[in-house]
């Protein structure tokens, strides 16, 4: 029983430390979005305010947060 608890706690701590980091919006030194959560939020806001078309917003999301996106792994 103690072993199972120790394994569960260890796995949680390891996952927390090595997590991808999209739990909060993160911006770089320039003020631009850095992680996928912030990129998606910026594109949605840009679309809703008319700054971006739907195609432009989706292209940015795909380029940065798609399967081979530039922003994966950024914290």
Residue 3 counted as domain residue: no
Residue 62 counted as domain residue: yes
pTM assigned to the model: 0.68
pLDDT digits (tens, 9 = 90+) for 2-60: 777 877 777 766 666 666 667 788 888 999 998 888 999 999 999 999 999 999 999 99
Residue 1 counted as domain residue: no
Residue 48: give the domain boundaries: 28-75
Q: Is the pLDDT of residue 71 over 80?
A: no
Q: Are 35 and 22 in contact (CB under 8 A)?
A: yes
Residue 60 counted as domain residue: yes
**Tally of CA atoms within 13 A in the half-sphere of 19 that contains its CB:** 11
Q: How many domains does the chain have?
A: 1
Q: Are 39 and 60 in contact (CB under 8 A)?
A: yes
Rounded Cα distance, 16 and 28, in Å: 22
What's the DSSP call for residue 65? H
Residue 44 counted as domain residue: yes
Q: For the CA atoms of 50, 56, 57, 61, what is the dihedral angle to 10 degrees?
A: -170
Residue 37 counted as domain residue: yes
């Amino acid at each position: 029983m103690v072993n199972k608890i120790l394994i569960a706690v260890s796995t949680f701590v390891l996952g927390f430390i090595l997590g991808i980091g999209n739990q909060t919006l993160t911006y770089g030194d320039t003020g631009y979005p850095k992680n996928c959560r912030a990129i998606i939020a910026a594109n949605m806001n840009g679309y809703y305010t008319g700054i971006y078309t739907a195609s432009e917003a989706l292209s940015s999301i795909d380029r940065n947060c798609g399967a081979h996106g530039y922003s994966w792994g950024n914290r």
